[in-house]
């Protein structure tokens, strides 16, 4: 009921704001019909304030505690579990982890001296949840070589726990590559990631204030931390020590890491207290052969037989070593099931002298076959057929940038970091200053003082540009407390104050327009900032859509405010001047609406990088198609490469091309041979 009331209230506020802006503009347009604009605006302002009073949650003392209560946090946990379950079930389906023929992963207690607990029992991937819940402390460390399925186990455990969730801890799967232990405490990082991936935690009406902080502080989330090995080696031991302090033996925890890296870290920082350490085993070669036969048609399966014979003859050879990891085996199944390539090429020792060369070749072929292939695009339901060489170059640029920053997640709002901060700020400020300045100059050109148009436009552009420079740095929104929750008081007081100033300068009508417009803009921000719910599964498209809605709705309201006020000042009772004022105000309103939104700075960075050929113009469409084609995957509001090996391989190609522009990559060679 609370959730329904909150959603209804937010939607009502949004609708009321838009309706008020439209009615204000309509009343000014029909001034020639004898309607007094001052009477119209006074009635509209009073009606809007009464409307806010009826909906103000603070006045009704509903859910207005200073901090989140236990009831708030219980509601947040339940909604968060619902949203995460939908998110990870969809990702499991896209990765083929929900299929009935899912290849089983097996583990056993590690023989390394990295645990202070008794030996953990062996298990299988379909029993991971039961094994975790039977563990006394519910603390688990999963180790294994690259590509053995550590992230898969972590994901299956997360989904399984979410499916069984009734109350208590909510499992949250996060990659440790986004944490810098030298500058941020692990609990601070966990809190920040909760707010970034689930902005609805800032919905103070539903979940109270500081909900994300309290979920972490009160240990209501179960951290599933993937990839300790992704943290730089020189600070990895310190990172593990901080994790152990933040989540002591009494707190459930899941951690994954590569085997050698974990052993080295434990030798310096000590084991994870109270945790079972399990090591993923290599795949059984008979199971590998059975899987490859099962996913291939009869003709393709027959082409695998010489490879299977070699596996039986050399169970410890390079080919067996390569195909005994789930990642490489999956790559082989994809590469040789949809192309004319023969799997027997893997038998060539000169071309593939070791397991690494085999996995590198399969990664190259995965990318080569995913793009520039009409059949693959149709089967994956991609939006278009992307050019192969350009796609490889675009993905290589992203992979290289991610490697330089030491991360495994691609958040769309972090694209700005691929452009120098000073250059990005200059580009964004120049664009917004030009838009806002032109809007003001256009209006002044038809006002009573057209000679001042260039100067007023220049001054307005400089002011907007300066504001953009100030807003170019990320700022963390803070929850509102006490009286700042009140729609009526905040909107009424600020709107009245600004309206009195403008009224004294330009007359009653201008003051009414500006005051009412400011009140509408503040109420609109409330509606847009709180409209999300935790039960909504997060995705890159969804988080970006919320920013875009704020952009265009805010632009409309601010356009009405500034445009109507300008029309009343410079062209009273002239319908044409009102229209010009609205058009000019819309441009200025857009420039002011996007100042603090991530979408604007992402758009500036995307356009700049696209003009230089580093990225496609339709970047988000390309990333989603790359996910459908199996090169990327999705983790909440971010994208990831299908595996770290895929990212590393593409980053190597990008670095090689940057160092030797004339050297052609394997992708270019293949593209030329197929042309």
How high is the pLDDT of residue 56? 73
How high is the pLDDT of residue 301? 81
Does the pLDDT at position 32 exceed 90?
A: no
19-43 mean pLDDT: 71
Greater confidence, 14 or 419? Answer: 419
Candidate CATH numbers 3.30.160, 3.40.50, 1.10.10, 1.10.3470; the one for domain 391-407+614-674: 1.10.10
How high is the pLDDT of residue 662? 44
All CATH 3.40.50 domain ranges in the chain, comma separated: 71-102+104-280
How high is the pLDDT of residue 670? 39
Confidence of residue 275 (pLDDT cuts 50, 70, 90): confident
Does the pLDDT at position 660 exceed 60?
A: no
Between the ranges 95-99, 428-432, 490-494, where is the mean pLDDT highest? 428-432
How high is the pLDDT of residue 522? 75
Greater confidence, 18 or 331? Answer: 331
Confidence of residue 59 (pLDDT cuts 50, 70, 90): low
How high is the pLDDT of residue 221? 92
Left if phi > 0, otherwise alpha if psi is -120 to 50, otherwise beta: which for 112?
beta
Q: pLDDT above 70 covers what percent of the chain?
A: 80
Q: What is the mean pLDDT of the chain?
A: 79
Sequence-ordered strand ranges (E) for 378-483? 410-411
Q: What are 215-232's pLDDT values in tens digits?
A: 999 899 999 999 899 898
Does the pLDDT at position 101 exceed 60?
A: no
Q: What are 581-605's pLDDT values in tens digits?
A: 777 777 877 877 777 778 888 888 9
Does the pLDDT at position 675 exceed 60?
A: no
CB atoms within 10 A of CB 133: 13
Q: What are 474-517's pLDDT values in tens digits?
A: 555 554 545 556 767 777 777 788 778 777 776 777 777 777 77
All CATH 1.10.10 domain ranges in the chain, comma separated: 391-407+614-674
DSSP assignment letter at 537: P
How high is the pLDDT of residue 5? 42
Does the pLDDT at position 279 exceed 90?
A: no
Does the pLDDT at position 654 exceed 60?
A: yes
- Distance, in Å, from the CA atom of 73 to the CA atom of 76, rounded to the nearest integer, reads 5
Greater confidence, 25 or 118? Answer: 25
Which of 141-145, 298-302, 599-603 is predicted least confidently?
298-302
Candidate CATH numbers 1.10.10, 1.10.1660, 3.30.470, 3.40.50; the one for domain 71-102+104-280: 3.40.50
Surface-to-core class of residue 113, CB atoms within 10 Å of its CB (0-12 exposed, 13-18 middle, 19+ buried): exposed
Q: What 3 state SS string does 626-674 have?
A: HHHCCCEEEECCEEEECCHHHHHHHHHHHHHHHHCCCCCCHHHHHHHHH
Q: pLDDT above 90 covers what percent of the chain?
A: 11
């Amino acid at each position: 009921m609370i959730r329904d009331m909150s959603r209804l209230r937010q939607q009502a506020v949004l609708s009321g704001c838009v309706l008020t802006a439209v009615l204000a503009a309509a009343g000014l347009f029909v001034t020639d019909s004898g309607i007094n604009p001052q009477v119209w605006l006074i009635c509209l302002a009073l009606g809007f304030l009464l409307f806010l009073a009826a909906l103000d949650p603070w006045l009704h003392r509903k859910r207005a505690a200073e901090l989140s209560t236990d009831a708030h946090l219980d509601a947040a946990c339940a909604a968060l579990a619902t949203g995460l379950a939908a998110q990870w079930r969809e990702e499991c389906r896209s990765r083929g982890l929900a299929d009935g023929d899912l290849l089983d992963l097996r583990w056993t207690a590690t023989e390394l001296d990295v645990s202070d607990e008794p030996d953990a029992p062996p298990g299988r991937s379909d029993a991971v949840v039961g094994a975790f819940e039977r563990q006394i402390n519910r603390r688990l460390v999963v180790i294994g070589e690259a590509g053995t399925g550590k992230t898969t186990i972590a994901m299956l455990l997360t989904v399984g726990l979410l499916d069984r969730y009734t109350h208590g801890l909510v499992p949250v799967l996060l990659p440790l590559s986004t944490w810098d232990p030298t500058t941020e405490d692990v609990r601070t990082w966990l809190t920040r990631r909760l707010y970034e991936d689930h902005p609805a935690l800032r919905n103070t009406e539903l979940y109270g204030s500081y909900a994300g902080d309290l979920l972490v502080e009160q240990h209501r989330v179960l951290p599933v931390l993937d990839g300790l090995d992704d943290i730089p080696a020189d600070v990895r031991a310190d990172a593990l020590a901080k994790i152990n302090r933040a989540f002591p033996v009494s707190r459930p925890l899941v951690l994954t890491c590569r085997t050698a890296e974990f052993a080295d870290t434990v030798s310096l920082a000590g084991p994870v207290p109270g945790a079972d350490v399990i090591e993923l085993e290599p795949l059984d070669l008979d199971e590998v052969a059975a899987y490859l036969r099962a996913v291939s048609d009869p003709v393709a399966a027959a082409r695998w037989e010489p490879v299977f014979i070699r596996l039986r003859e050399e169970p410890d050879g390079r080919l067996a070593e390569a195909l005994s990891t789930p990642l490489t085996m999956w790559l082989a199944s994809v590469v040789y099931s949809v192309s004319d390539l023969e799997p027997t090429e893997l038998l060539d020792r000169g071309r593939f002298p070791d397991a690494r060369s085999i996995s590198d070749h399969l990664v190259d072929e995965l990318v080569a076959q995913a793009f520039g292939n009409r059949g693959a695009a149709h089967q994956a339901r991609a939006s278009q057929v992307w050019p192969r060489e350009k796609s490889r170059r675009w993905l290589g640029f992203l992979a290289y940038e991610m490697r330089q920053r030491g991360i495994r997640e691609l958040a769309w709002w972090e694209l700005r970091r691929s452009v120098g901060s000073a250059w990005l700020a200059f580009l964004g400020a120049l664009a917004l200053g030009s838009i806002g300045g032109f809007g003001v100059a256009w209006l002044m050109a038809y006002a009573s003082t057209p000679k001042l148009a260039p100067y007023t436009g220049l001054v307005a552009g400089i002011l907007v540009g300066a504001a953009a420079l100030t807003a170019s740095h990320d700022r963390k929104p803070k929850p509102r407390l006490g009286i700042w929750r009140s729609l009526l008081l905040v909107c009424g007081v600020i709107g009245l104050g600004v309206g009195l100033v403008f009224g004294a300068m330009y007359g009653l009508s201008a003051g009414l327009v500006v005051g009412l417009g400011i009140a509408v803009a503040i109420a609109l921000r409330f509606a847009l900032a709180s409209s999300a719910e935790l039960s909504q599964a997060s995705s890159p498209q969804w988080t970006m859509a919320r920013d875009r809605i704020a952009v265009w709705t805010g632009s409309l309201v601010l356009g009405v405010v500034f445009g109507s006020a300008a029309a009343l000042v410079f062209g009273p009772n002239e319908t044409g001047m009102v229209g010009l004022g609205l058009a000019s105000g819309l441009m200025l309103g857009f420039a002011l609406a996007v100042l603090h939104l991530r979408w604007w700075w992402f758009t500036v960075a995307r356009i700049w990088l696209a003009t230089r050929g580093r990225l496609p113009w339709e970047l988000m469409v390309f990333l989603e198609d790359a996910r459908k084609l199996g090169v990327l995957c999705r983790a909440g509001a971010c994208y990831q490469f299908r595996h770290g090996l895929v990212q590393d391989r593409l980053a190597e190609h990008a670095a090689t091309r940057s160092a030797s522009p004339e050297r052609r990559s394997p992708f270019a060679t293949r593209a030329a041979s197929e042309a």
